[in-house]
């Protein structure tokens, strides 16, 4: 299992477009991928799950992956957060 903490840096937080980017990226990997906010854990391959997290600007999340490509999956998703989902 691989885990990494990320911070939402784009001002609008995770809305429909960033959620879609997360799902598209997560679906490229075979690993099971989850995102955790506080005590709520959702499947990163589910757009509804991501949107219902209600993750806004400066929110800390953990990305957790388990499977054959877990490290690559976590790194790819963390890169989306670092690039602010290409919004700024």
Distance CA 79, CA 34 (A): 16
- At 11, is the secondary structure helix, strand, or coil? coil
Distance CA 63, CA 41 (A): 10
Q: Per the residue annotation, which of 2, 9, 12, 15 is the catalytic one?
A: 15
Is 15 labeled as catalytic in the residue annotation? Answer: yes
Asked if residues 88 and 11 have their Cβ atoms less than 8 Å apart, the reply is yes
Catalytic residues, which ones? 15
């Amino acid at each position: 299992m691989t885990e990494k903490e990320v911070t939402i840096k784009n001002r609008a937080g995770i809305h429909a477009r960033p959620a879609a980017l997360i799902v598209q990226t997560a679906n490229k990997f075979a690993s099971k991928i989850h995102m955790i906010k506080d005590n709520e854990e959702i499947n990163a391959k589910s757009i509804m799950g991501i949107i219902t997290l209600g993750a806004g600007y400066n929110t800390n999340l953990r990305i957790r992956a388990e499977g054959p490509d877990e490290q690559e999956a976590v790194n790819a998703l963390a890169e989306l957060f670092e690039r602010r989902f290409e919004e700024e």
